[in-house]
Amino acid sequence: MTLFRQIYALLFGLFLLTIASVAYVQFHETQNFLVQQMDSDLNNASNSLGLMLVPVLEAGDAAGAETLVNVIFEGGYYQQIKLTWLVDGKQQVWNNAIRIENVPQWFIDLDIFSTITKQSTITSGWLQLAEIEITAHPGFGYHELWRIITNTIMVFAVLFLIAIICARIGLTLILKPLHNLSEHAQRIAKRQFGPDMPTPKTEELKELVLAFNSMSSQLKQVFSSLDEEVSALRKKNLVDQVSNLPNRQYMVSRLNGWLTEPSGGALFLAKFDWLEEVHSKYGYQVRDETIHLLAQKMEQHLQEIAPSVIARIAAYEFAFLVEDVEHDQLNKYLQTLIRTLNKEISKAGCKPNEGFAVGVAERFGQMKVADIMAQADNALQKALLENKVFHWFETSQQQLFSREEWRENLTLAINEKQFQFRWQPIQFCDSQQISQRELYCQLQLGDKLLHAGQFMPYIELLSLGSLLDKCLIEKVGESKLLERNYEPIAINLTHNSIGDTDFHQWLKQVLRSTHHAERMCFEIPEASVYSDLSSCEKLCNIIRDSGAHFGIDHFGRQFGSMAYLQSLRPSYVKLDQSFAYIDDNQHNSELCRALVNVAKGLDIQVIVTGIQEEEQLERFRTLRLDAYQGFIAPPVNVKS
């Protein structure tokens, strides 16, 4: 029971006790008063009737006596009058069957009033004429007592109602700071550190509120310090100090993650020998400043063409990872890079289109980091050997379909729900039990079975993400996967769906009509959180309110604050696969540990991904991770 209800019940009980006590006193006082009044009335009637009967009794007029008694008898509440003549012993009796009106019988049956009788002797001088006995009728007492009780109850009822309303309003106002404090405590328990509570006027609550504000501030500071620690470790281990770009280590780990995901794009390797000329002319300080400005310009202009990762991997070598773009877009990216370089070369006093070379290797099919790095390096060496600005690595592999063919095939597959499911178990670290299963899809086109890595880049390029997500979620329901599988099922959402308000409303309706919404998990890539946080918040609120769960995929991949975890409050996060490829001797276990601590500090489950073998998993044992995922337990086909 809440404190409000306890105080409310206490006041209610005290008020009832007070009313009962007052009613008890009032009842007995009224009863005694009515008894005294009936007794006094009986004395007056007896004296009056005795004086009136003296002449009649002296004359022996029985009829006159009866007339006088009837006058008195009919004018008051008397149950019986008995007149006994002492001369001859004659006795006259008058009985009154007065009915008590407007008084319930159960009240009369309580026998509140005892019988009151008054006897007296009528005399004339020393001569005794007769004896008279008058018995009072209790009807008057019952009638008056009932009237007073009902009136009292009505007044008390009105007072009680007014008191209850006033008590409720008063308690609500008095306990409002305590209610706010309870909500504030719940938010703190959920690791939501909002603004401090205003200090109440109540002295007893003031200290409590100040203590909670202090605790919230300290917890918020702890989270901020963890967030700052992550940023510092990233800058120390994964960022080049001169250019403020990611370093070679980050690029290699990012390539590992990229090549294990369904994606497309290309890797550019560039060598800028003109920076050596700047060094020889102006010294290392000017060279470093030139590198810093060049990095800013490249990020500014190239990110407008396509999202990419730009890294400085050696003194004069840079790498550019461009994801999820087609060949024409890569050409545009390359031309923008060359224009940006020529502008900076001209500013440095060097000749344009000289002193640099770019090698391009496009991703085709299943590749390893060594493969694409070798291809990009071969293209770079070819450009340097032939003294060309760039060279594109030639491959014998051809595109399966043109852009329009991809659009036609994928639209048809979505409309007819031709996708097939595979799922991969995510296992708890401390047991062999399964935490959830992540769904993957593949597509049969003619005699070709296409995995997600082949068609997902075109899903994003052709803005078919929302349609694909709707198709897959509907197929999950039609296949009754939630009924067949007790573990939660994780579904990856595309960037297109996250920003689509129509998809938000559609998903809301679907989850409301789903019987096992609590078994559905939706995964949002961290890149979408940084690019469109407001849309992510709206979508996450819909998922949470519907009873489903959601998590953040590729956690820790982006360079930025982890503060979004407080506003989104995901059920779990999946560490980016690049962390699975970071060795202990690279001094990045501290960064991984800091990321885990940030999530754990907010009571968020942490899942490590990209685990291929037991030895790889062993390195994460000390980080208190909750679950792991990877080809240590590969995906399997979902049986129809």
The percent of the chain in helix, strand and coil, each rounded to the nearest 5, is 55, 20, 25
Do the Cβ atoms of 483 and 519 come closer than 8 Å? no
Residue 375 has pLDDT above 90, yes or no: yes
* Segment 290-337, tens digit of pLDDT: 999 999 999 999 998 888 999 999 999 999 999 888 888 899 999 999
Residue 585 has pLDDT above 60, yes or no: no
Grade residue 105 by pLDDT with cuts at 50, 70 and 90. confident
Grade residue 131 by pLDDT with cuts at 50, 70 and 90. confident
Residue 424 vs residue 126, higher pLDDT: 424
pLDDT of residue 275: 93
pLDDT of residue 400: 76
22: Cβ contacts below 8 Å, ≥ 6 apart:
156
* Segment 509-546, tens digit of pLDDT: 999 999 889 999 999 999 899 999 999 999 999 999 99
pLDDT of residue 500: 93
Q: What is the mean pLDDT of residues 27-56?
A: 81
pLDDT of residue 300: 93
pLDDT of residue 321: 96
Q: Which of 6-15, 194-203, 231-240, 532-541 has the lowest mean pLDDT?
A: 194-203
pLDDT of residue 276: 92
Residue 2 has pLDDT above 70, yes or no: no
pLDDT of residue 29: 83
Q: Which of 27-41, 404-418, 450-464 has the lowest mean pLDDT?
A: 27-41
Sign (positive or negative) of CA dihedral 212, 544, 487, 522: negative
Do the Cβ atoms of 156 and 23 come closer than 8 Å? yes
CA–CA distance from 168 to each of 7, 17, 317, 460 (Å)?
Answer: 10, 18, 74, 57
Residue 489 vs residue 67, higher pLDDT: 489
CA–CA gap between residue 15 and residue 274 (Å, rounded): 92
Residue 586 has pLDDT above 70, yes or no: no
Beta strand segments in 365-510, E: 390-392, 419-428, 434-445, 448-451, 489-492
428: Cβ contacts below 8 Å, ≥ 6 apart:
434, 435, 626, 627
Structure tokens at 14: 């005290």
Percentage of the chain surpassing pLDDT 70?
93
Residue 68 has pLDDT above 70, yes or no: yes
Residue 582 has pLDDT above 70, yes or no: no
The mean of the pLDDT values for the chain is 85
Q: Which of 30-34, 376-380, 412-416, 489-493 has the lowest mean pLDDT?
A: 30-34
Residue 638 vs residue 144, higher pLDDT: 638
pLDDT of residue 71: 77
pLDDT of residue 398: 67
pLDDT of residue 96: 75
pLDDT of residue 424: 93
Grade residue 620 by pLDDT with cuts at 50, 70 and 90. confident
Residue 192 has pLDDT above 80, yes or no: no
Residue 269 vs residue 94, higher pLDDT: 269
Q: What is the mean pLDDT of residues 198-206?
A: 71
Q: What is the mean pLDDT of residues 66-93?
A: 78
Residue 397 has pLDDT above 70, yes or no: no
pLDDT of residue 570: 94
Q: What is the mean pLDDT of residues 180-200?
A: 69
pLDDT of residue 188: 66
Residue 540 vs residue 4, higher pLDDT: 540
Do the Cβ atoms of 117 and 134 come closer than 8 Å? yes
Q: For tokens 């404190």, name the residue.
A: 3
Grade residue 229 by pLDDT with cuts at 50, 70 and 90. confident
Beta strand segments in 489-537, E: 489-492, 520-525
Grade residue 93 by pLDDT with cuts at 50, 70 and 90. confident
> N- to C-terminal Cα distance for the chain?
50
Element (H, E) at 256: helix 248-259
Q: What's 494's DSSP letter?
A: P
